């Protein structure tokens, strides 16, 4: 475990202990304003709203709607590579939860990230027990990162994006970021600029892997809504202003007034609550508008589609999309959602938040930059060739996820992937991880209580056994007492005599011989008791060996325990497990 070394990070973690004093009241006020989901707001207090699935679990976190949706392509690729893995996605905004629910990848569920208080995080991690934690873009919560690393859970930062302005805001806190980054086994940036900024903040070995948003699958659309809406639109030419802000709306509405015949302009505001405000603005320009949120159809000059979770519908129905945020200080939104669904991409001059994305599209002739002057002509042009190029880029991005997926797969075994430890320790960590996965995938194992021990331990399954792991590595390795409470005392005494006082680590063949001998000498003993007697006898030898860290001691004992369990599993009746 890497401990917080900087004063700023230590100070934050101390201050975070006071979050529960204000959190419930704050969340209830947000609930009253409609900013939290009534049946899920307590997830932000660390209370799980869903059961944990069986098997290894990858936890991915992104802050908001766009960032969360961008994770879908990565999850699909990881799910294909690791069929037994389940996925948990956390985010912080209500919109991200509602829209993601309609676009869930396979074997995936969503929860809200708890507030950054130790108790909330402990409750969350105790329930979900992730095997890998993946953080996306710029969202890092110090308490959650430190708590996750303290449990020995590998951490990865992917799809990192940081322009000059974002770097300038974070530079004064570079010591905090350096403290956090050293806990990550993998850091992957969208572009070289971001990689340089992350390195300047203390990140090491930053990889450039491209943007996940380009690789995200197409947004879904409700078939019934699609079937109802397409006929209502008729043959009118349709233009979508996607994720709009006031500056974008001013430019598009001005262009619309100059066109004859007028196309139907669909405005999908970034904040749907602005629907009424936009309708008033449309009316002042002498245009007519209807609002979908009020149940009104596309009967005017402008249809304000002020609803959540329907962008997949609008991209499918509109052959041309103008990307919002590109005519004002927002500096752009994700253009790849339009590309994946075959809607031509037009955008204004301000794209600093997605510089690399728009540059990639421009280099391939897959997007068209416009100004207020050139926009009217662009809205009446056939962009079919440009659409084909954008769709091809989107498909290529999805096919190019393999290197990042391989890197995340390697992050399951961070000691192997990133450390300079001796080979035997790397091997022990691989064995430890494999054991945890093997134990978690069996519902029968979950039904057997794990005793209150802080080391590897064998639990019975039928007449066989499996090895189990403690939740985290303790600050000090503590061996079970030989008092007969966990292991029959006579069996434990025989194990101590049989093991003797060798110097760890023992060769695999020697460990297998110990397991076989003790089992044969005690044929009526449960195999799990035989294993735990040997583990308990070997534990003091590991603790007594000088020069090893707690993690090294843990790896030594886990490697021994796995070999014992594997040997005894081969002796169990093959029909015993139900």
Q: Are strands 302-304 and 264-269 parallel, antiparallel or unpaired?
A: parallel
d(CA 259, CA 530): 84
Which residues, other chains included, contact 190 with Cβ-Cβ below 8 Å and sequence gap of 6+? 159, 160, 161, 208, 209, 210, 211, 212, 356
At residue 224, the pLDDT reads: 92
- Show which residues are catalytic: 67
| Token pair listed for 383 | 């962009």
Q: How far is CA 478 from CA 110, 181, 452, in A?
A: 36, 30, 11
Give Dmax over CA atoms of the chain in angstroms: 96
> Any idea what the CATH number is for the domain that residue 313 is in?
3.40.50.2000
420 part of a folded domain: no
- Please tell me whether residues 323 and 472 are part of one structural domain: no
Q: Which of 28, 68, 66, 64 is nearest to 45 (CA)?
A: 28
d(CA 350, CA 394): 22
- Please tell me whether residues 120 and 234 are part of one structural domain: no
Per-residue pLDDT of the chain (578 residues; tens, 9 = 90+): 455 567 888 899 899 999 999 999 999 999 999 889 999 999 999 999 999 998 889 999 998 888 888 888 888 888 877 777 899 999 998 888 888 888 888 899 999 999 999 999 999 999 999 989 999 988 899 999 999 998 888 899 998 988 888 899 999 899 999 999 999 988 988 888 999 999 999 998 888 887 777 777 788 888 999 999 999 999 999 999 999 999 999 999 999 999 999 999 999 999 999 999 999 999 999 999 999 999 999 999 999 999 988 999 999 999 999 999 999 999 999 999 999 899 999 999 999 888 888 998 999 999 999 999 999 999 999 998 899 898 888 877 766 666 676 666 665 444 344 444 455 444 544 444 444 444 443 444 445 677 878 888 888 876 678 777 765 556 688 899 999 999 999 999 999 999 999 998 888 788 989 999 999 999 999 999 999 999 999 999 999 998 887 767 887 888 898 889 878 877 765 443 33
At residue 432, the pLDDT reads: 46
| Token pair listed for 151 | 């449990």
- Please tell me whether residues 235 and 177 are part of one structural domain: no
Q: What are phi and psi of 447, to 5 degrees?
A: -75, -15
- Please tell me whether residues 153 and 97 are part of one structural domain: yes
- Please tell me whether residues 87 and 187 are part of one structural domain: yes
- Please tell me whether residues 377 and 260 are part of one structural domain: yes
Last residue of a domain, one of 352, 375, 399: 399
561 part of a folded domain: yes
- Please tell me whether residues 206 and 247 are part of one structural domain: no
Q: Could you tell me where the beta strands, DSSP code E, fall in 6-85?
A: 57-61
| Token pair listed for 573 | 């009746």
Last residue of a domain, one of 215, 240, 256: 215
Which stretches within 419-488 are classed as H helix?
423-440, 443-446
| Residue 251 belongs to domain spanning | 223-399
Q: How far is CA 47 from CA 40, 55, 120, 191, 495, in A?
A: 9, 21, 8, 37, 43
Q: What are phi and psi of 561, to 5 degrees?
A: -60, -40
Q: What is the DSSP letter of 274?
A: G
409 part of a folded domain: no
381 part of a folded domain: yes
d(CA 563, CA 89): 35
- Please tell me whether residues 135 and 32 are part of one structural domain: yes
At residue 87, the pLDDT reads: 94
| Token pair listed for 203 | 């990140």
Last residue of a domain, one of 181, 215, 249: 215
Number of domains composing the chain: 3
Q: What is the DSSP letter of 39?
A: T
d(CA 231, CA 152): 55
- Please tell me whether residues 129 and 203 are part of one structural domain: yes
> Any idea what the CATH number is for the domain that residue 179 is in?
3.40.50.11720
Q: How far is CA 44 from the centre of its chain?
A: 16
């Amino acid at each position: 475990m890497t401990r917080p070394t900087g004063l700023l990070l230590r100070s934050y973690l101390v201050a975070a202990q006071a979050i529960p004093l204000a959190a419930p009241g704050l969340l209830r006020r947000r609930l009253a304003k409609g900013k939290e989901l009534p049946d899920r707001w307590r997830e932000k207090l660390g209370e799980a709203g869903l059961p944990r699935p069986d098997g290894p679990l990858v936890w991915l976190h992104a802050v908001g709607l766009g960032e969360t949706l961008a994770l879908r392509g990565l999850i699909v690729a990881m799910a294909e590579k690791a069929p037994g893995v389940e996925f948990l996605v956390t985010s912080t905004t209500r919109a991200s939860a509602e829209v993601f629910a309609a676009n869930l990848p396979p074997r995936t569920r969503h929860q809200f990230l708890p507030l950054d208080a130790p108790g909330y995080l402990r409750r969350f991690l105790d329930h979900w027990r992730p095997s890998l934690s993946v953080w996306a873009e710029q969202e890092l919560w110090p308490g959650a990162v430190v708590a996750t690393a303290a449990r020995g859970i590998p951490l990865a930062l992917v799809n990192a994006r940081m322009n000059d302005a974002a770097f300038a805001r974070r530079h004064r806190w570079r010591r905090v970021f350096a403290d956090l980054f050293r806990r990550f086994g993998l850091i992957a940036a969208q572009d070289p600029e971001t990689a340089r900024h992350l390195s300047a903040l203390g990140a090491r070995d930053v990889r450039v892997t491209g943007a996940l948003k380009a690789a995200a699958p197409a947004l879904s659309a409700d078939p019934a809504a699609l079937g109802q809406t397409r006929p209502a639109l008729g043959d009118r030419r349709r233009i979508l202003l996607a994720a709009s802000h006031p500056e974008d709306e001013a430019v598009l509405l001005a262009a619309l007034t100059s066109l004859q015949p007028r196309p139907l302009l669909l405005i999908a505001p970034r904040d749907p609550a602005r629907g009424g405000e936009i309708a008033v603005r449309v009316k002042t320009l002498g245009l007519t508008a209807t609002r979908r949120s009020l149940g009104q159809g596309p009967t005017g000059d402008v249809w304000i589609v002020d609803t959540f979770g329907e962008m997949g519908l609008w991209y499918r129905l509109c052959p041309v999309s103008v990307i919002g945020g590109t005519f004002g200080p927002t500096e752009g939104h994700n253009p790849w959602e339009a590309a994946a669904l075959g809607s031509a991409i037009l955008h204004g001059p301000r794209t600093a938040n997605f510089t690399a994305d728009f540059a990639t599209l421009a280099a391939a002739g897959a997007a068209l930059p416009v100004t207020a002057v050139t926009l009217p002509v662009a809205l009446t042009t056939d962009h079919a060739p440009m659409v084909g190029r954008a769709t091809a880029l989107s498909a290529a991005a999805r096919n190019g996820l393999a290197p990042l997926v391989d890197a995340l797969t390697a992050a399951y075994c961070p000691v192997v992937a990133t450390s300079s430890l001796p080979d035997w320790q790397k091997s022990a960590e691989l064995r430890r991880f494999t054991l945890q996965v093997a134990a978690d995938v069996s519902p029968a194992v979950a039904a057997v209580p794990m005793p209150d021990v802080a080391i590897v331990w064998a639990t019975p399954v039928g007449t066989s056994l499996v090895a189990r792991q403690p939740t985290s590595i303790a600050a000090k390795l503590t061996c079970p007492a030989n008092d007969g409470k966990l292991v029959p005392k006579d069996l434990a005494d025989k194990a101590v005599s049989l093991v003797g006082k060798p110097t760890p680590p023992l060769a695999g063949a020697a460990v297998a011989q110990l397991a076989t001998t003790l089992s044969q000498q005690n044929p009526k003993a449960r195999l799990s008791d035989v294993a735990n007697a040997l583990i308990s006898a070997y534990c003091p030898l590991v603790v007594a060996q000088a020069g090893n860290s707690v993690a090294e001691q843990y790896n030594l004992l886990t490697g021994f325990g796995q070999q014992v369990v594997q040997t005894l599993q081969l002796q169990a009746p093959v029909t015993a497990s139900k």
